[in-house]
Structure 1
């Protein structure tokens, strides 16, 4: 029977033990490391499904640790920062992190964030199976091309599209997104996106010309279904902006002359006509 594994990379002994306790109570087998290099080794050895990384570590800091971790795994990655500075959040997301938590944090908040992340499917290149659950258009629609659905169903992470779109690819202006394989191809070449970037792009392409608000995008990344009812914090809004900026950069798109993603000032984003 497969066991979900988590790796905690944290130089503070008290916080390290707290993180391990929270994850153990959540059903994970937890391995801990006091620094970046040994943490990367644990990730390589145990192939975890969740990794938490402290930003402010001596020697190899959390950002470099996150870059190395992301280069070898598709695990859900949470940055833990004591500073609470916006720049920490932005750099952490740019290194491929899925979420961030600011110290001091409540154990319940951390568990809720991890459970929300695990409602979203991991890249199929991973050796892990999908985690169990518990944790009006004004323009043309994208071209839909049927493809073979995944062999094992997973909890839907895209409540904004119809079920049949989940097993079809979305095509728009030379860009093709295949939800089942979690692959994005641009003009014949595959584009490597983080999980959050992929899910944002899928939500925008799957919504046609409807405007998708930053609140909806933030709710989707948290695994919420339907219309989110939480308040959009400044940190969450900025995180969405960073994800979209990274997505545009990887697609080679200019915000002033968008090919795929239009900014609707003060609201959110939508697919180009």
Structure 2
């Protein structure tokens, strides 16, 4: 019997040469959580798209097929498949096939972070066709982690500054009915503008979860990638959903606070290296509620 000493994740994300986002965030976080990361790059950018102009963008759609076909010959398996930013709508079929092939017998945790936009608008490279295709991809997942904007686009809802908890519960359940058993929506605006939150629904036990924290008025790219990466690592390491959400939220808050005190361009992303070691500290539950 082949031994697999540590958990292994296939991370299907883009790679930016400069700026902390996507694989530049996913790999260090999951590696720090003692998980082996196997990247599947969807695109290569000179910088990420948040705050930079005239960046170069290389769509790796055609190369991905060749890349993955080699993996299929190696008889390898993954404890989790984690997809994020996709370079084109054509990549949806490639990722769907990857999930079908490498999560045989539904033994792998499949997490889809439908990276498409923020603050009510789509990112520059995201098309309406990709949004439609993303609705198909989330049907193959067990966990999805859209932010508030992405949840609106997935549901065909108009973006608004605030929705009450009853509407959020309907949105969570509607997204779950499309396939994923666990739905986590981040960056949820609170009626009190000084606070923001994360809400989640677990269809396995029909329970809702919420974490609220004080809104830090500083925008750093890559915080969504950091949040979902901690979720993936926590679930693979045996944490409950409530603990995983709490841990991911606290890690992002700590990252923001560690970064905000320095005077550097926020578009470069959070100072991840200053807080990575906290991922292996004993869990201190602070803020989740049922």
TM-score (norm 1): 0.37
Q: Kindly indicate which of the two structures has a greater share of residues assigned to helix.
A: 2
The structure with higher relative contact order (CA 8 Å, sep 6+) is 2
TM-score (norm 2): 0.35
